[in-house]
Amino acid sequence: MNNCPCGSGKTIDQCCEPYIQGREHAPTAEALMRSRYTAYAIKNLEYLRDTLLPEERDEFDIEAARKWSETAQWDGLDILHTEDGGPDDETGIVDFVARYSQSGVRQAHRELGSFRKQEGQWLYVDGEVRGEPQRRATPKVGRNEPCPCGSGKKYKKCCGK
């Protein structure tokens, strides 16, 4: 069994899969956030569209989401804080960091996501990006790779000393 990409420590079939496959609705805003992250990781873009607030679905660019989903390596999700969003609430906020790598560059997307329950189902409303995405200015240089300064030496024998 595979661990769920959302980082819950559970297997995917005991965590996000029942929501993504439509067998159950996520019981909390956090569970929906975790399942949306997992949907990116397993490339189920239809779930992302279907868990948006209906009036926001026309704005969803499924092809852009597909490109991001397919070109990124999904490294993990950290839930920093939740406000409301429980089974008996109607709205909720989830402060999270989605970690991923793209073209060998590690990145982090921090967002304060808003959620609303409609007809008993949690839906993603929108998000406020917190700070700039964290990314390296250049790809990481391995110790035994040529030094980027152009000296012709290995990085560890040159600028990496």
Asked if residue 152 belongs to a domain, the reply is: no
Asked if residue 123 belongs to a domain, the reply is: yes
Domain CATH code at residue 113: 3.10.450.50
Pair 147, 159: CB distance under 8 Å: yes
Asked if residue 33 belongs to a domain, the reply is: yes
Pair 8, 14: CB distance under 8 Å: no
* pTM assigned to the model: 0.79
Asked if residue 26 belongs to a domain, the reply is: yes
Classified as helix, coil or strand, 86 is coil
Residue 104, pLDDT score: 87
Q: Give pLDDT tens digits for 66-87.
A: 998 999 999 999 999 999 999 9
Asked if residue 139 belongs to a domain, the reply is: no
CB-based burial label for 36 (10 Å; 0-12, 13-18, 19+): buried
Q: Give pLDDT tens digits for 122-132.
A: 999 999 988 75
Asked if residue 156 belongs to a domain, the reply is: no
Asked if residue 6 belongs to a domain, the reply is: no
How many other CB atoms are there within 10 angstroms of residue 20's CB atom?
22
Q: What are the φ/ψ torsions at residue 82 (nearest 5 degrees)? A: -125, 150
If one counts the domains in the chain, the total is 1
Range of the domain at 94: 12-133
Nearest to 2 by CA among 46, 42, 47: 42
The pLDDT averaged over each successive group of 10 residues in the chain (161 residues) is 90 97 97 97 96 92 91 94 97 96 91 96 93 54 64 65 66
